[in-house]
Amino acid sequence: MLQGRDYLSPGFLNSLVAIFFHPSYHVLYDLYLKDSGMSSFTEFADSLDRGSEVYIQTHDFPDHDALASALGVKYLLEQRGLACRIVYSGTIIRGDLKDFIRIIGIPAENSDSLTLRKDDQLIIVDGFLGNRNVRDLGASVKGIIDHHPQDVDSIPPVGFIDLRTDYGSCSTIIASYFQETDTPIPKSIATAFLAGLYIDTSFLTRGVSSQDIELINLCYFISDREYLNIHVRNKIQSSDLPYFRYLLKHLTIADLCGFCYLPQGCEQNLMGILADFCLSIQEVRFVLMISRNNGGYSISARSEKAGWDAAEIVKALIEPEGFGGGHAHMAGGVIKDRPDFHPNDLKNRLYAYIREHLV
């Protein structure tokens, strides 16, 4: 056991569990069933065709939580005799995420190398059918498992939808399936689940539910805590430092809001890291980052102020020119390239919106 380096010590962990432990963790919370009588993961798994592969799709440009969730679903289904493949769209750029995939052993495949048929079975995890960040692969969607707020009535009928918007990570939902099916969680998957939870909740500082705390109780002592301490906490690379240098020089702070435009381009995961860094500034409670990417603009937002819903603010600022979504504490979006748009327009909209609606 590591001495004095564990991010969550056993004593602190036990205190959290005592405070937040929920006795009904086995129950499917906020399970949304649409045109289906399925009320459990077991029933859903039994409904899948064992004669054909099951594709498990993450949101585009996946993060730790999406990949951990996909790995957990893959393991559970394979225990029931189903052949599964994990697929994603976009690219995986960051070294910490590449290390995560390599060390945990996640066999994720880029959808560009695959051709799915209309009758292929597909499960979407940590994303939602019809979202702009979930590429349509043309397969038959059998199930959706997500923790982001979604408009369920906007999609065609899907056999199984498990949507738990109060959970801090999708990994927490998948962990409940292990309990439901009495399946022991392997060390690698326990480690992956905790990585997904820690990163999505910024190490339990935002959007945490009692079930997320129970996930720690379930996985902490069987996980690779040395990996979590070294690789998950230390996610900044030396190549990121020029971005921090630029941010420190160009960050604008007013009315508890931080704003920065990165004209040199910046991938989405790093934008989130930069936004989280801004929240460590005492005078900043909300952050909006914008970056020039792929012929358009990417948006990343973070909020730690009650009533300042990041997803709602992003939507109010960029729609209808762009689209966005997420949680109350973190959100993202995209604005397509337009000759009449300048990032300063977004900054002005942000401060005007905060002063008119929230201050």
Residues 82 and 115 placed together within one structural domain of the fold: yes
CA 161 to chain centre: 17
CATH (domain of 119) = 3.90.1640.10
Give the mean model confidence (pLDDT) for residues 248-262: 95
- Give the Cβ contact number of residue 171 at 10 Å: 35
Q: Do both 82 and 226 map to the same domain?
A: yes
State yes or no: pLDDT of 20 exceeds 60: no
Q: Which helix (H) or strand (E) holds 54?
A: strand 54-57
Identity of the amino acid at 110? N
Predicted confidence at residue 43, as pLDDT, reads 95
Q: Is 252 helix (H, G, I), strand (E, B) or coil?
A: strand
Best-predicted range by mean pLDDT (68-82, 265-279, 291-305): 68-82
C-alpha 229/C-alpha 5 separation (Å) is 7
Burial class (CB within 10 angstroms; exposed 0-12, middle 13-18, buried 19+) of 272: buried
Residue 266 reports pLDDT greater than 80 = yes
Q: In this predicted structure, what is the pLDDT of residue 1? A: 29
Distance CA 168, CA 50 (A): 32
Same structural domain, 257 and 108:
no
Cα–Cα distance between 152 and 155 in angstroms, integer?
6
| Cβ count within 10 A of residue 41 | 24
pLDDT tens digits for 238-254? 999 999 999 999 999 99
Average confidence score pLDDT of the chain: 87
CATH code at 272?
A: 3.10.310.40
Tokens (6 digits) for 253: 């702070």
74 in the same domain as 144: yes
Number of structural domains found in the chain: 2
Pairing relationship of beta strands 252-254 and 140-146 according to DSSP bridges? unpaired
Bridge partners (DSSP) of residue 88 are 110
Phi, psi of 335 (to 5 degrees): -120, 125
Last residue of a domain, one of 195, 211, 232: 232
The token pair at 17 is 């569990």
Contact present, 157 and 36 (Cβ < 8 Å): yes
Bridge pairing between strands 160-163 and 140-146? parallel
- Which secondary-structure segment (H or E) carries 211? helix 210-219
Q: Is the peptide bond preceding residue 156 cis, with omega within 30 degrees of 0?
A: no
CB-based contacts of 146, cutoff 8 Å, min separation 6: 124, 125, 126, 127, 128, 162, 163, 164, 170
What domain range includes position 301? 239-358
Query: CA 202 to CA 210: how far, in whole Å?
Result: 16
User: Within a domain: residue 283?
Assistant: yes
pLDDT of residue 37: 55
| Residue 79 within a domain | yes
Of the listed ranges 9-13, 306-310, 335-339, the one predicted with least confidence: 9-13
